[in-house]
């Protein structure tokens, strides 16, 4: 739902109740300025935006895609790079 900042201020309790079912977009000067979400939705957003280091993400990728990585490495060992026979004009 989209509401103006004035509507959100005047009906804050109703906006909080509505936020339990859907996000409430608060517009100010004709543009979305803020979003009201439930505490549950906010916790889900925070859990989804956890920060992992590049090394952690690399390790996780290698663990979950180890079969694919092995297949690609085998293909490279057998056939080489796809562009090995390309010539510069």
Query: pTM value?
Result: 0.54
Right CATH for 2-46 from 2.40.50.140, 3.90.1150.10, 3.40.1620.10, 3.40.50.11750: 3.40.1620.10
Q: How many residues appear in the chain? A: 89
Hey, where are the domains in the chain?
2-46, 51-79
Q: Give the 3-state DSSP-derived string for the chain, with helices as H, strands as E and coil as C.
A: CEEEHHHHHHCHHHHHHHHCCCCEEEEECCEEEEEECCHHHHHHHHHHCCCCCHHHHHHHHHHHCHHHHHHHHHHHHHHCCCCCCCCCC
Q: Give the confidence band of 68 by pLDDT, cuts at 50, 70, 90.
A: very high
Q: What is residue 34's predicted lDDT score, i.e. its pLDDT?
A: 95
Q: What is residue 37's predicted lDDT score, i.e. its pLDDT?
A: 96
């Amino acid at each position: 739902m989209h509401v103006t900042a004035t509507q959100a201020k005047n009906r804050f309790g109703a906006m909080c109740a509505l936020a339990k079912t859907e996000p409430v977009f608060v517009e100010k000067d004709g543009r979305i300025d803020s979003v009201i979400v439930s505490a549950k939705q906010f916790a889900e957003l925070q859990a989804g935006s956890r920060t992992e280091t590049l090394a952690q993400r690399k390790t996780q990728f290698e663990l979950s895609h180890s079969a694919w990585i092995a297949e690609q490495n085998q293909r490279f060992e057998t056939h080489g790079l796809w562009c090995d026979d390309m010539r510069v004009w």
